[in-house]
Amino acid sequence: MIRKYILPLLWLCLFIGSDVSAQQKRMPDLRFKDTEEAAVSTKDIPKGQPLMLLYFRSDCDHCEHTAQQLKGTAKQYPAAIWMVSAEPIPTLRTFEDMMGLYDISNLRVMQDHTQSMHRWFEFTKLPFIVLYDQNGLQKAVFDELPTVAAVKKALANRQESKSR
């Protein structure tokens, strides 16, 4: 009698487990505010463009170093770059201005006013960087700013790659 229930229960667990992992690899519907306080969501990514999502804090030395690197290299990346933080918008505006990020065409600084990044991703150190391809599939997670070549390689790879 126990066998009658165990096998269906195991199948159910396998089905649910595979469904959850598939959801985690697809880009979630995230909603942010840009530094002008306009609402932005992942639906606003231009169709067919990959996204490099970078979670940071303005008082993090590693994050500041990453922003300085991006100032000179952002335009070379084959992806939109969204730098996201839960800090207040005035703090983000100051950071954007101090780092000279405001005039980089493929980079946006945004506020995670709903703290959705913390709900969707498990990260313990900053910056936290996740790369999605043009179809919204997660391609890689990075602990530090990847090189342009590493991003191109991850996007060219059909299978998920992780740099963690």
pTM tops 0.85, yes or no: no
How would residue 117 be classed by pLDDT, with cut points 50, 70 and 90? confident
Q: Residue 91 — φ and ψ, nearest 5°?
A: -65, -40
DSSP code for 6: H
pLDDT tens digit sequence for 123-140: 888 999 999 999 999 999
Mean pLDDT on 89-93: 97
CB atoms within 10 A of CB 73: 14
- The letter for the amino acid at 128 is F
Mean pLDDT on 70-76: 96
Whether 129 and 51 have beta carbons less than 8 Å apart is answered as no
Q: Residue 40 — φ and ψ, nearest 5°?
A: -140, 140
Lowest mean pLDDT among 101-105, 108-112, 142-146, 155-159: 155-159
Mean pLDDT on 66-75: 96
How would residue 50 be classed by pLDDT, with cut points 50, 70 and 90? very high
How would residue 24 be classed by pLDDT, with cut points 50, 70 and 90? very low
Kindly tell me the sign of the dihedral angle through the C-alpha atoms of 139, 140, 146, 150: negative
Lowest mean pLDDT among 51-55, 75-79, 115-119, 131-135: 115-119
Mean pLDDT on 99-120: 92
Whether 132 and 27 have beta carbons less than 8 Å apart is answered as yes
Residue 163 has pLDDT above 50, yes or no: no
- Kindly give the pairing relationship between strand 39-41 and strand 138-142: unpaired
Whether 143 and 163 have beta carbons less than 8 Å apart is answered as yes
Domain architecture of the chain: domains with CATH: 27-156 (3.40.30.10)
